[in-house]
Every structure is written in structure tokens, then in C-alpha cells.
């Protein structure tokens, strides 16, 4: 539903945005679009697809439609305090690291924090990628490192034990 919903919204509104040569397209994705996790392959795949759709749209707007005033923002948060994660263990279960240390480096986000970042991008009228919290900015690099490094990061963060 993630990518299909985004695609359907674009199909409905993009022609008018391109015609007006201004607007702002927000794409909601997730860190897991870059760093997939266990037991969520469908969700991770759909978020990766939204990232790809966003990147293709950005190039299409720039190169094909020649619409430099149409902005795009990709939003890739980590765990947000929503119903989806209400049963999540916040990466702390059976961790060899202190709970406070894990929560410091990998906090769950209040929804209003994500909304404020989206509003800031719209207010400043610039295209950007929003990665929250701070560790999320490293997510795109996850595909550039070996599986061993990813496995260590996942072990430290208890990434595959959250759902």
C-alpha cells in the first residue's frame, strides 16, 4: 500500500503541479527502505520502492518537465511512536548494552517531530531528504558496507528484535 498509495496520489495531482510549475511533493518512506530488517520484508520492500519512486520523480521533474520550482521532500524516519510500533520492544530486549545507551542512539520519535521537519521543508521551499533521528542519516550508507558491518550494527542496535 505504501508505494501504491504514493503512486496513485502522484497520478491524481502531478499533472496539475507540473502545469502550474510549482508545488511540493512529500514522499513518506522509512529508514528500512535502506536497511531492511527481519520479519518485515513486505514493509521494507514497499518503503524501498517509495524511495526509488521519489528519486525517479525528482529526475523526471528536473530533466523531463523542466519544473525547478516543484520541490520534493523524502522523509525517512526511524521508529515513530505510532500504532504500528505499539508492541515494539524499542531495540532493548536482551541487549548487551544499557537500555539508556540504546535509547540515546536510537530513540523512538514522537509523530510531531516528523511533522515539524516536513513543515520546515515546505516553509523553506526547498527539496530535501529528511532523516530522523540523527542515526538515520547513515541509513543510505548501509548498502555500501559489507554484510558483516551491517550485521554488527544490527546486533548492537537489536534491529531484528523490535517487532
**Predicted pLDDT at 55:** 96
**Predicted pLDDT at 91:** 47
**Predicted pLDDT at 144:** 83
Show the cell assigned to 60. 523526471
Q: Which residues are catalytic?
A: 43
By the 8 A CB rule, do 88 and 59 touch? no
Report pLDDT digits (tens) over 125-141.
989 999 998 888 888 88
Higher-pLDDT residue of 29, 84: 29
Please list, in sequence order, all residues whose beta carbon lies within 8 angstroms of the beta carbon of residue 154, skipping any fewer than 6 positions away.
Answer: 37, 160
Q: In angstroms, rounded to a whole number, what is the distance separating the alpha carbons of residues 64 and 61? A: 6
Q: State CA 74 to chain mean position distance.
A: 7
Give the pTM.
Answer: 0.82
User: What 3-state DSSP class applies to 4?
Assistant: helix
CATH entry 3.40.50.720 includes domain 2-161 = yes
Report pLDDT digits (tens) over 45-72.
999 999 999 999 999 999 999 999 999 9
Q: Do you know the residue count of the chain? A: 163
Q: In angstroms, rounded to a whole number, what is the distance separating the alpha carbons of residues 122 and 128? A: 10
Residue tagged 511533522 (cell numbers): 115
**Predicted pLDDT at 104:** 66
Q: In angstroms, rounded to a whole number, what is the distance separating the alpha carbons of residues 99 and 138? A: 21
Amino acid at each position: 500500500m505504501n508505494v501504491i498509495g504514493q503512486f496513485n496520489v502522484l497520478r491524481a495531482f502531478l499533472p496539475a503541479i507540473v502545469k502550474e510549475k510549482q508545488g511540493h511533493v512529500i514522499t513518506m518512506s522509512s529508514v528500512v527502505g535502506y536497511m531492511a530488517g527481519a520479519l518485515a520484508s513486505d514493509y521494507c520492500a514497499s518503503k524501498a520502492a517509495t524511495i526509488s519512486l521519489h528519486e525517479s520523480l525528482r529526475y523526471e521533474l528536473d530533466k523531463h518537465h523542466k519544473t525547478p520550482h516543484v520541490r520534493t521532500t523524502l522523509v525517512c524516519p526511524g521508529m515513530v511512536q505510532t500504532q504500528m510500533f505499539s508492541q515494539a520492544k524499542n531495540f532493548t530486549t536482551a541487549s548487551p548494552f544499557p537500555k539508556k545507551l540504546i535509547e540515546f542512539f536510537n530513540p523512538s520519535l514522537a509523530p510531531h517531530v516528523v511533522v515539524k521537519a516536513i513543515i520546515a521543508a515546505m516553509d523553506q521551499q526547498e527539496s530535501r531528504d529528511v532523516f530522523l533521528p540523527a542515526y538515520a542519516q547513515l541509513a543510505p550508507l548501509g548498502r555500501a558496507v559489507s554484510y558483516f558491518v551491517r550485521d554488527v550494527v544490527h546486533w548492537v542496535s537489536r534491529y531484528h528484535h523490535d517487532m
